[in-house]
Structure 1
Amino acid sequence: MLLNWMMMKLMDPAMDETTVKLLTEDYPDNPFLMATVVEKLSPRALIEAAMRAEAGKELSRPLGSPIVLSPWDKILLNPRQLFKLPSLDYTKVNTETIIGPKAKRPLKLEMPIMITGMSYGGSLSLPMKMALAKGASTAGTATNTGESAVTDEERDSANLLIGQYHRGGQLSGQEQLSRLDAIEIQLGQGAWGGAVDEPIRGEHIGDHLRKAWHLDKGQDATVYARMPGKSSTQDYIKMVNNMKSQYDVPVGVKIAGSDYIEYELAVIAQTQADYIVVDGSEGGTAAANPTLQDNVGLPTFHTLVRTVDWLTNNNLRDHFNVIVAGGMTTPGHFLKALALGADAVYIGSIALMAAMHTQVVKVLPQAPPSQLALYTGRMTDKLDINKAAGHLAKFLTSCIVEMQLAVQAVGKNALKELNREDLVTVDRDLAQFAGLRYAASHREAPNMNIARHPQPTVQNMLQ
């Protein structure tokens, strides 16, 4: 009690002086000026300005942009209750998904949720890559190498492994490509604003990674804006078709969302690819700078709708599976993406959070959870791989059960039966853009020849 009294007596003069200054001084000498500065510039802009002033080079911000422009919360699913009954048993709602059904070896999944491309070395540590692979396998789905090579550790941990044939060249050649369950030709990424150079300094590449990437000690690595050796659109078309002719597994093309999305699709349509991955600007990454993350590209929702619409309008929807990626985090997001026309979704940042789960206490509050997961993290050795895999599998299982219940409510029997008729929006512009029902417009009820009972009267009641 005495100590508290002494502390209060010491603080009183300082508080009195600060209060007087706040209430009497003009803005240039008033401490409250910082409150207006923060309100005007935003805390994020101030902190990033300080980081730039300190470093004098581009920033590297993990996990993607905080700016989310996809209007998922303005769209709802439509339940049926009487005119059409809910499905009888939610546990019987089919969740199976096939990517590349026309390929000699289609990719068969137990759910339409997959782990997106997050590379060993460029993004994540090897223990985290192993955890993601094991968790995805337990749940019956696939994981993705990202812009890296196929390692024995990830391959042995994954029942189904999609590999990215990418602009850095680390995953190429028969020895690597023949180990995959699907090949994804990576030509762009949402969080990187499409395709730009991504240099990785040799001093940041450890012995194990250097061996996987076939680099000399101290040698730099670069993911280029273009595929090396490709100088025209026709070069890319030939590359996709050559890949398709050599391998039995599904071959896909990944691009970032852009207002030129129809132009990009018109090129892919000239290939024999099995699937298309469209990655919205809200996607995550380990290292892209804030300018590319926040200011370049097209939101995931708009990218998906325009992709599906263009394929449909050109009678190509049955030629390609569509996988969408970029900032989706909840079963509701996944359901709405499927109803809009996606065959499957990729998740990244939310999968990492689910995998780390309670293990974040190993690094908090001294360091952010990213230090458990990133390749450059200082505490990656603290990650329990099996626990992380188990929590990821539980997360995926939980998502699927909730999705099955929602599909039961709308009266369908399979996730792949969802379509835009199962959606309604409270936004008129969204309704027009995506071809959805506008919630503020009335439906005409069907003529059901309803036999109405006469309304009770006082006389009838007395009788």
Structure 2
Amino acid sequence: MKKIWRKVFLSSLAIALGYQGARFLARKIIHDVSTDAISTIMTDLYDENLWEFVSATTKFGPQVIVETNLRSQEGQMIKRPLGSPKKFPSLDQLMFNIGQLHIMPTPLEQPVDTKVVIGKNCKYPLIIDLPIMVSGMAFGAALSEKAKVALAKGASMANTATNTGEGPFLPSERKAAKKLILQYNRGNWNKSDDILKQADAIEIQIGQGATGGTGQKYNVGITDFKLAKGFGVLPAQDAVLHARHAEVSTPSELPKLVQKLKSVAGDIPIGVKFGAGKYLEMDMKWAIDAGVDFITIDGAEAATKGSAPILQDDFGIPTIFAINRAAQFLQKQNCQDRISLIAAGKIRTPGDVLKVLALGADAAYIGAIALFAMSHTQVLKPIPFEPPTQLVYYDGKYADKFDIASGAKNLAKFLKSCNDELIEGIRALGKTSVGEVNKDDLIALDDITAKGVGVPLAYEPCITPNIYNKKIPLSTEGKRHEEG
């Protein structure tokens, strides 16, 4: 009681003294509270000490503790958005060479070619101005129509391609996209000849990095007639994405599906997408024999709107190793000039893109980072009361506040900025096109990366055996200087 009266007295005194009194009182209260808290932590035994939570969090990590509580709350499988927080071996452990004297940098005036052709042997290949495309993110199952249209418009402004994802086909997305890759999903929608004929390329989705090949159910709201029509179900009915394609009950049936799509859509690039697993090369062999024009490899770091943490954290092969293995296998099969390789899975920066190109990919998909770039300052609309994703998700609380024109412009600027950096990096390597970049341009920061992708270690000399005894001929100018 004495303490209470003491605080009342101090408060009254502070009011009487004005600002200086308020400042004094605030400092006094903060001092008293913090002193009491620290004293309690320093003197209570562990079974009564709140520091026990800090100790436990340090051991288990906040991610595990939060998801443990979510599992306890829900009593069913939880779905985590935007991929795994786990630290996989990554592209960060690779560095590029710098052109100096042994290899000269490319002059500033020399043009650099970043154009990419996907489906090189097709009558109607997919030609993009930069080696970056927008990955498949589904309308309805993930993103709003506004978000999908903005992605398509932004990609078009940069003259690259966007992917429909596994959701219902959107005429508005088709109209906004100069180059549209239709994802041929494992459900029953988007399969009509009319839709297939509108594609610039078709990607048969066998699986993806964040979900493997598992099936999923999309709940369609009872009043959501547009989404229900797109999925081909009745309102309030689940749209089912099966674990396997109905046309591919065995791998030997894949060639028939590829030929069917070619016959309907014309000689456009037909490819497959799957998550990288232990038997990556065996999966690729089935696709190669089926006559595909491109293969998309999704590494273990790939993201989605929501999938089981176990699939994100504990399944698949990291992107750095998956792309390296895939490129090597295409070379061994002598089909790297016929089949394009597209890399996906936590590709975030121009450096990441250039590294997967050096490992053997022809182009890269970006997903989550494209959403961040597109949303830019618009994320201030839901923050701080809601996460930024509420701006672009189909059922997001702020989805109706998203501005398409602004989003498209921001994405286009991001893509242009990335391409400018790619050009700068290619010049620093002493090269003039994205097609010239290869593993000879890379060094590794650790033993696992060096061994895993077959590049030299950064801390070891990279010289020819006889360089110390080899007499390097002097230029005419050098000889003149020597004689002088």
Counterpart residue identity of residue 226, structure 1: R
The residue number in structure 2 matching 1:334 is 353
The correspondence of residues 360-379 of structure 1 with structure 2, limited to 5 A, is 360-379=379-398
What's the offset of the Cα at 1:175? 1.0
Question: Alignment identity in percent?
Answer: 36
Counterpart residue identity of residue 29, structure 1: E
Counterpart residue identity of residue 242, structure 2: Y
1:244–1:273 CA contact under 8 A, matched in 2:
no
1:89 alignment partner, one of 97, 101, 108: 108
**1:210 equivalenced with 2:224 (yes/no):** no
Cα distance in 2, alignment partners of residues 398 and 12 from structure 1? 49
What SS does the aligned partner of 2:342 have?
Answer: strand
**1:50 equivalenced with 2:74 (yes/no):** no
The correspondence of residues 109-188 of structure 1 with structure 2, limited to 5 A, is 109-188=128-207
What's the offset of the Cα at 1:189? 0.7
Structure possessing the higher radius of gyration over alpha carbons: 2
The residue number in structure 2 matching 1:448 is 472
Cα distance in 2, alignment partners of residues 205 and 405 from structure 1? 51
What's the offset of the Cα at 1:91? 6.6
**1:37 equivalenced with 2:56 (yes/no):** yes
What SS does the aligned partner of 2:289 have?
Answer: coil
5+ residue gaps, structure 2, are 1-19
1:244–1:272 CA contact under 8 A, matched in 2:
no
Alpha-carbon deviations, 1:12-62, whole Å to 9, x = none? Answer: 554444333212221111111111011111111111122222222222222
Counterpart residue identity of residue 206, structure 2: L
**1:221 equivalenced with 2:239 (yes/no):** yes
What's the offset of the Cα at 1:441? 2.7
The residue number in structure 2 matching 1:240 is 258
Counterpart residue identity of residue 118, structure 2: I
Residues 391/91 of structure 1: CA separation in 2 closer, same or farther (3 Å cut): farther
Counterpart residue identity of residue 448, structure 1: I
The residue number in structure 2 matching 1:314 is 333
Cα distance in 1, alignment partners of residues 151 and 160 from structure 2? 11
Cα distance in 1, alignment partners of residues 213 and 369 from structure 2? 23
1:121–1:205 CA contact under 8 A, matched in 2:
no
Give the root-mean-square deviation of aligned CA atoms.
2.1
Alpha-carbon deviations, 1:313-339, whole Å to 9, x = none? Answer: 222222310001000100000001101
1:241–1:273 CA contact under 8 A, matched in 2:
no
Cα distance in 2, alignment partners of residues 105 and 84 from structure 1? 37
Alpha-carbon deviations, 1:56-99, whole Å to 9, x = none? Answer: 22222221112241422221111222234322236710011110
What's the offset of the Cα at 1:121? 0.8
Cα distance in 2, alignment partners of residues 33 and 141 from structure 1? 53
What SS does the aligned partner of 1:80 have?
Answer: coil
Counterpart residue identity of residue 214, structure 1: G
What's the offset of the Cα at 1:229? 4.8
The correspondence of residues 279-358 of structure 1 with structure 2, limited to 5 A, is 279-358=298-377
1:60–1:287 CA contact under 8 A, matched in 2:
yes
What SS does the aligned partner of 1:390 have?
Answer: helix
Cα distance in 1, alignment partners of residues 384 and 450 from structure 2? 44
Counterpart residue identity of residue 201, structure 1: N
1:231 alignment partner, one of 249, 257, 265: 249
The residue number in structure 1 matching 2:121 is 102
More off after superposition, 213-222 vs 82-91: 82-91
What's the offset of the Cα at 1:432? 2.8
1:63 alignment partner, one of 75, 82, 98: 82
Residues 128/90 of structure 1: CA separation in 2 closer, same or farther (3 Å cut): farther
Counterpart residue identity of residue 78, structure 2: L
What's the offset of the Cα at 1:241? 3.0
Cα distance in 1, alignment partners of residues 421 and 322 from structure 2? 25
Alpha-carbon deviations, 1:408-432, whole Å to 9, x = none? Answer: 1111111111111111122233223
Cα distance in 2, alignment partners of residues 323 and 222 from structure 1? 27
Cα distance in 1, alignment partners of residues 284 and 275 from structure 2? 11
What's the offset of the Cα at 1:106? 0.5
Cα distance in 2, alignment partners of residues 434 and 170 from structure 1? 39
Residues 329/417 of structure 1: CA separation in 2 closer, same or farther (3 Å cut): same
Residues 270/454 of structure 1: CA separation in 2 closer, same or farther (3 Å cut): closer
What's the offset of the Cα at 1:10? 4.6
Q: How many residue pairs end up in the alignment?
A: 456
2:90–2:319 CA contact under 8 A, matched in 1:
no
The correspondence of residues 16-35 of structure 1 with structure 2, limited to 5 A, is 16-35=35-54
Counterpart residue identity of residue 235, structure 1: E
What SS does the aligned partner of 1:437 have?
Answer: coil
5+ residue gaps, structure 1, are none
Cα distance in 1, alignment partners of residues 26 and 455 from structure 2? 63
What SS does the aligned partner of 2:374 have?
Answer: helix
Give the TM-score taking structure 2 as reference length. Answer: 0.90
Counterpart residue identity of residue 354, structure 1: A
Give the TM-score taking structure 1 as reference length. Answer: 0.94
**1:76 equivalenced with 2:95 (yes/no):** yes
What SS does the aligned partner of 1:134 have?
Answer: helix
**1:420 equivalenced with 2:439 (yes/no):** yes
Cα distance in 2, alignment partners of residues 90 and 293 from structure 1? 45
1:275 alignment partner, one of 290, 294, 298: 294
What SS does the aligned partner of 1:117 have?
Answer: coil
What's the offset of the Cα at 1:205? 7.6
Cα distance in 2, alignment partners of residues 242 and 257 from structure 1? 26
